[in-house]
C-alpha cells in the first residue's frame, strides 16, 4: 500500500514556491547502471552505526497575523552557515490565494498563487525555472511555464507520487498500480510495464539510468531502452530512491531500511533506526540526507549514517531537497518545514497542520513546495 492517505472530498492541491533571481542548479550525468534479477536481503551488509551526533535545532512559531516589521532572525556567521529569517504579512490556516504564507530565508516570503490542480499533489520537479512539473492524485499533472500553472492531460487516472527527469523532453512520473508515465516534450504517455504494486519514488543520474521503487520491494530500472523489474526480497515497502550518480544510488523504506548500489551490486546498510524512512537527497557522495517517520533525520558522511535531532517527534518527514550542503529543506505532514543551514536545523511552523509533501528548486532563491490546497505558493524577493 502507498504511504500517503486518501484526501477528503473537495480537497485540492497547493504548490508552494520560493522565487527570486538565481542561477539554475547544475545537472547530473553518468554511465548506465543495471538492475539484474532479485536483490536478496541476505546480501552483504555495510553496517553504519548511529554516531549519535545530535544537532541543536531552533523552533520558530509564527503567529496568525504578523506585519513585515514582525521579523524574527537567527543570524549565524560560522562556517558559511546561512542566516535564518522569518517574515510574513499575513499567516492564516486557510492559506487563501494571494495571502503571504510564513517561511522566509533572507527577507522574502512564501505566498499563495492560483493553480489548476484539482487534487492533492505529491511530487514536484523541473528542468528549469520556467519548466516545472507537479503530480498528484487521480492522475493530476500540472505544469509551470512563464504563463503560470496549468493542468495537463496525463493519460492516466492513477495516483501519481513522484516526478523526476533529465530535461524538458525527458520527464518521468510514477504512481499506483505500477504506473510509469513519460513526457517527451509534447505529451505524457503511459509505459507498458505491467500492473503491480504502487511506485512511490523515481530518480536517476541520466536518461539511460533511471530508478523507481515502491510497494512489496518493487525495484525498477530504465537503461535508456526498456524498464526492467526486480524485487528487493524481504522489504515490503520501499518509499524513496535517490541517485547521486550511476555508481552511487540509495533506496529507503519501512523499518529504517537503507540499501546502496555501487554500480554493480546492492548492499543493505544499517541506518541505526527502526522508523520508516520516507525520502532521500544528497549533494555529494559524502553528503546524503534521509528523512522519515517520527521526525527521523539521518546524515551520511561517506562512511556512516548518524542521527540528527529534528525536534519533530510526531510527524512524518518527506524527501529533502537542497541548493547546497548548508541549505537543505525538509517538508513534514504536520505543517512544519525544516531548514538546515550547515550547523543546525531550524523548524518553521506553517501556521496550520497542512501536509507539506514535496519540495524542489533551481537555486537557493527559487524553491517550490506542494501540499493539500488548490492554490500555489510563490516566493518573491524584494
Average pLDDT of every residue of the chain: 76
Instruction: Report residue 58's pLDDT band, with 50, 70 and 90 as the boundaries.
Output: very low
pLDDT tens readout for residues 333-373: 887 889 999 999 988 776 667 788 899 998 888 888 887 66
More confident residue, 39 or 267: 267
| pLDDT above 80 for 269 | yes
Q: Judging by beta carbons within 10 Å of its beta carbon (0-12, 13-18, 19+), is residue 24 exposed, middle or buried?
A: middle
Cβ distance 126 to 139 under 8 Å? Answer: no
More confident residue, 115 or 7: 115
Counting Cα atoms < 13 Å in the Cβ hemisphere of 24 gives: 12
- DSSP string spanning 225-245? S-EEEEEBTT-SBEEEEEEEE
Question: Which stretch of 133-137, 183-187, 208-212 has the lowest confidence by average pLDDT?
Answer: 133-137
Q: Specify the pLDDT at position 333.
A: 86
Q: What angle do CA 276, 297, 121 make, to 5 degrees?
A: 65
Architecture of domain 14-71+83-379: 7 Propeller (2.130)
pLDDT tens readout for residues 235-256: 999 999 999 999 999 999 999 9
Read off the pLDDT of each residue in 77-97 and give the average, rounded to a whole number.
36
Q: Specify the pLDDT at position 66.
A: 29
Read off the pLDDT of each residue in 224-234 and give the average, rounded to a whole number.
95
Cβ distance 99 to 88 under 8 Å? Answer: no
Q: Specify the pLDDT at position 208.
A: 98
- Numbers of helices and strands, H then E, in the chain: 0, 33
Cβ distance 113 to 99 under 8 Å? Answer: no
| pLDDT above 50 for 191 | yes
CB atoms within 10 A of CB 52: 9
What would you report as the CA-atom Rg of the chain, rounded to the nearest whole angstrom?
19
3-state secondary structure of 177: helix
Residue 284, strand partner residues:
287
Please give the order of strands across the beta sheet that includes 266-269.
45-46, 266-269, 257-261, 248-253, 238-245
- DSSP string spanning 305-361? EEEE--S-TTS-B---EEEETTEEEEEBTTSEEEEE-SS-EEEEE-SS-----EEEE
Residue 226, strand partner residues:
none
Read off the pLDDT of each residue in 5-27 and give the average, rounded to a whole number.
41
More confident residue, 381 or 73: 381
Phi, psi of 282 (to 5 degrees): -145, 155
b/e code 152-172 from CB counts within 10 Å (16+ = b): eebebebbbbbbbbbeeebbb
Cβ distance 314 to 294 under 8 Å? Answer: yes
Q: Specify the pLDDT at position 79.
A: 39
Q: Specify the pLDDT at position 366.
A: 84
3-state secondary structure of 121: strand
Residue 237, strand partner residues:
215
pLDDT tens readout for residues 293-329: 999 999 999 999 999 987 776 688 999 999 999 999 9
Q: Specify the pLDDT at position 15.
A: 59
Amino acid at each position: 500500500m502507498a504511504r500517503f492517505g486518501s484526501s477528503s472530498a473537495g480537497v485540492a492541491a497547493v504548490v508552494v514556491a520560493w522565487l527570486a533571481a538565481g542561477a539554475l542548479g547544475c545537472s547530473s550525468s553518468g554511465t548506465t547502471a543495471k538492475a539484474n534479477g532479485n536483490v536478496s536481503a541476505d546480501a552483504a551488509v555495510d553496517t553504519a552505526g548511529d554516531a549519535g551526533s545530535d544537532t541543536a535545532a531552533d523552533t520558530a512559531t509564527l503567529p496568525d497575523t504578523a506585519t513585515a516589521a514582525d521579523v524574527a532572525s537567527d543570524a549565524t556567521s560560522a562556517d558559511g552557515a546561512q542566516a535564518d529569517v522569518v517574515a510574513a504579512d499575513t499567516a492564516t490556516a486557510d492559506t487563501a490565494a494571494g495571502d503571504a504564507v510564513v517561511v522566509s530565508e533572507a527577507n522574502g516570503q512564501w505566498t499563495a498563487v492560483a493553480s489548476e490542480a484539482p487534487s492533492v499533489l505529491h511530487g514536484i520537479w523541473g528542468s528549469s525555472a520556467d519548466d516545472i512539473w507537479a503530480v498528484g492524485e487521480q492522475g493530476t499533472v500540472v505544469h509551470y511555464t512563464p504563463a503560470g500553472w496549468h493542468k495537463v492531460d496525463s493519460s492516466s487516472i492513477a495516483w501519481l507520487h513522484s516526478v523526476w527527469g533529465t530535461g524538458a523532453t525527458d520527464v518521468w512520473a510514477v504512481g499506483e498500480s505500477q504506473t510509469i508515465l513519460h513526457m517527451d516534450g509534447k505529451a505524457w504517455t503511459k509505459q507498458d510495464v505491467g500492473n503491480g504494486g504502487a511506485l512511490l519514488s523515481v530518480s536517476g543520474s541520466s536518461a539511460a539510468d533511471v530508478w523507481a521503487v515502491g510497494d512489496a520491494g518493487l525495484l525498477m530500472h530504465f537503461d535508456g531502452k526498456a524498464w526492467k523489474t526486480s524485487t528487493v526480497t524481504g522489504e515490503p515497502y520501499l518509499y524513496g530512491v535517490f541517485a547521486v550518480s550511476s555508481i552511487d544510488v540509495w533506496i529507503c523504506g519501512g523499518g529504517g531500511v537503507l540499501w546502496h548500489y555501487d554500480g554493480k551490486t546492492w548492499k543493505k546498510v544499517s541506518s541505526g533506526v527502526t522508523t520508516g524512512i520516507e525520502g532521500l537527497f544528497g549533494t555529494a557522495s559524502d553528503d546524503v540526507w534521509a528523512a522519515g517517520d517520527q521526525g527521523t533525520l539521518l546524515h551520511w558522511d561517506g562512511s556512516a549514517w548518524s542521527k540528527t535531532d529534528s525536534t519533530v517527534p510526531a510527524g512524518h518527514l518527506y524527501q529533502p531537497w537542497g541548493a547546497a550542503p548548508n541549505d537543505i529543506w525538509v517538508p513534514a505532514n504536520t505543517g512544519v518545514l525544516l531548514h538546515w543551514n550547515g550547523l543546525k536545523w531550524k523548524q518553521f511552523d506553517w501556521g496550520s497542520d497542512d501536509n507539506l509533501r514535496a519540495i524542489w528548486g533551481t537555486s537557493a532563491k527559487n524553491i517550490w513546495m506542494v501540499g493539500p490546497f488548490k492554490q500555489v505558493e510563490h516566493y518573491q524577493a524584494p
